[in-house]
Structure 1
Amino acid sequence: MHITYQIGVLPTVTQVTALYNAAGLPRPTHDPERMQQMYAHSNLVVTAWEGDTLIGVSRSITDWVWSCYLADLAVDPSYQKSGIGKKLIQLTKEKAGEQSMVLLLSVPTALEYYPRVGMQKVENGFILPREK
């Protein structure tokens, strides 16, 4: 297995949708235009590939000097537990820079994963949920 990582290479909506569906990431994969807009408005995308196959992605929004919101982290289930997610987080943090924190909202099924890869749980977050 030869995995390559790329920064700034945007996968197609079809590739992202297939990955999110396989990984069980709850996103609007039924709405290709919304998925396309999610990526068009992100300014830090790190991808993992085996050949031409997208097997992992970290999608973030950052100002490069204070905060980096890691909006999506997905790894194909057949590649999970091989360090790909951890590497995607590491590359995201490196690219965001040492002045910037990386923060995220976890899906319930991944709550135990993030502390294992070095992230700290915080209790001081708030949210205004989406209406649609």
Structure 2
Amino acid sequence: MTGRVEYRSDVRPTAAQYIDAARRSTLGERLPVDEPDLIQEALDRSDIVVTAWDGERLVGFLRAITDFRLICYLQELGVDADRQREGIGLALQVEMRALLGPRCKIRVSEAPGATGYYARHGYARHDRSWELLPGDPLV
């Protein structure tokens, strides 16, 4: 039996809590979960961190970088695999959007395991993004 989920944007999880939740979601495979200091720095430097708690257990999380007026980059959205399809991911996004200005766009890169998720929730495909990986030369 699961309890009532509480959504918070005023309290950030520790790196250990975030890593534990990431491992219980599909994001643990793509995040550097073996580097808690790096995860902590990412949390500390993020503009928005919204969390979903079932009691003391972190069951969902969202991390974003934004200027709050024009653009918001949704970096990570993860929900405990046992709690997916309960609306937690959507609720996290609603909480994030409430923090943004009325003209602020949200952009996200779809994770391999999330095919179709964002389209189902109103996002339009944006195919004009590029990526420069760490160590790749800027020429």
- TM category, shorter: over 0.9
Instruction: Return the letter of the residue paired with 1:16.
Output: Y
- Equivalent residues of 1:8, 1:44 under 8 A apart: no
Instruction: Return the letter of the residue paired with 1:28.
Output: P
1:94 deviates by: 1.6
In structure 2, how many angstroms separate the alpha carbons of the residues matched to 1:8 and 1:100?
Answer: 21
- 1:107 aligned onto 2:111: yes
1:11-67 C-alpha deviation (Å, 9 max, x unpaired): 011110011111121101100110001101101111100111100011011111111
Residue 82 of structure 2 is aligned with which of 78, 84, 98? 78
Partner of residue 22, structure 1: 24
The unaligned stretches of length 5 or more in structure 2 are none
The unaligned stretches of length 5 or more in structure 1 are none
- 1:124 aligned onto 2:125: no
1:77-125 C-alpha deviation (Å, 9 max, x unpaired): 1110000001111111121221211111121111211111121111111
* RMSD of aligned residue pairs (Cα, Å): 1.3
Where do 4+ consecutive residues of structure 1 move more than 4 Å? none
TM-score by length of 2: 0.90
Partner of residue 38, structure 1: 42
TM-score by length of 1: 0.94
Residue 91 of structure 2 is aligned with which of 87, 90, 96? 87
- Equivalent residues of 2:26, 2:113 under 8 A apart: no
Worse overlay, 65-74 or 109-118: 109-118
How many residue pairs are counted as aligned between the two chains? 132
Instruction: Return the letter of the residue paired with 1:76.
Output: D
**SS of the counterpart of 1:88?**
helix
Rg larger for: 2
**SS of the counterpart of 1:35?**
helix
